[in-house]
Amino acid sequence: MVVFDNWKFREILKSIVEKKELNGDRISSKQQLYVRIGEALHVSPDTVKYWQRDKSSGPDPRTPELLKELDAYALLIQCFMRDYFDWFLISIAKYQQKVERGDIHLSGFEMQLQMNPEYNPAFLPIKEWEEQFFLKPYFKNGEPVLLFKTPLEERLKVTDPNGTDPEISYYEADEYLELLEDFLDKSEEVIKYRTNKIIEALKKKL
C-alpha cells in the first residue's frame, strides 16, 4: 500500500526550486513547478500546490491510482536529482526479489519497472548485470551495494552558501566537499574499470 509522505514531497519540491532545474529544464518559480507536475499527472497546478501544503494528506484516498502515479513520479524526480546509479541497481534487485517470490505489493517505481520486461529476472537476473555490463564496483557477492555511502537525506540537501530558509537542509562547505571528493574518486574508479573492460571486449571482437 502506497502512503503519501507530505514531508518528503515538500522537501523534494523545495530542492527543485532551489536548484532551479527539473530533469534538465529550468524551473524559475514554484508555480511553474506545479504546472509541470500537474501536466505529468493530469491534474491542475492548484491540486499540486495543495498537496505540498503542511500536513496535507495528498491525493484523495478514493483515487489510489493517482497516489501510485504521484509516488512513481516523485521517485523518478529523486533519481534524476541524485544521479546515483547504485540506488537504481538496488531498486531493481528489490523489485526482482518481489517478482521471484510472487509479491504483488509493488511501489510506484516498481510498477514502472514492471512495464519494462528487461528488468524482469526472467529476462536477466540482477546477479548477471555485474558481468554483462561491467559493473563490478557496484556489486558484492552477486548483489548490488551502495557504492556512494550517502543516505538519501544527505543526497537531497541543497547547495547554497547564502541559504537561510529554516525549512531547507543545506550542505555545510566541508560536508559538501567531502561528498564531492567521495563521488569524484569513486566515479573515476568506475570509469577506469568499465573503460578497460569495454576495450578488452572490443579486442576480442577484432
pLDDT at 91: 86
- Is the pLDDT at 80 greater than 60? The verdict is no
Counts for the chain of helices (H) and strands (E), in that order: 9, 4
pLDDT over 50 (residue 81) = no
> By mean pLDDT, which of 97-111, 154-168, 192-206 is the weakest?
154-168
Give the residue, 167 or 103, on which the prediction is more confident: 103
The yes-or-no verdict on residue 99 having pLDDT over 60 is yes
Say which range, 27-41, 147-161, 181-195, has the weakest mean pLDDT.
147-161
Is pLDDT above 80 for 201? yes
In this predicted structure, what is the pLDDT of residue 24?
53
How does DSSP classify residue 137? G
What's the mean pLDDT when you consider all of the chain? 79
Q: 21-22 and 143-144: which strand pairing?
A: unpaired
pLDDT in tens, 131-143: 999 999 999 998 9
Percent of the chain with pLDDT strictly greater than 70: 79
Cα angle for residues 161, 167, 173 (degrees, 5° grid): 25
Minimum mean pLDDT range among 72-76, 80-84, 104-108, 124-128: 80-84
Residue 1 has pLDDT above 60, yes or no: no
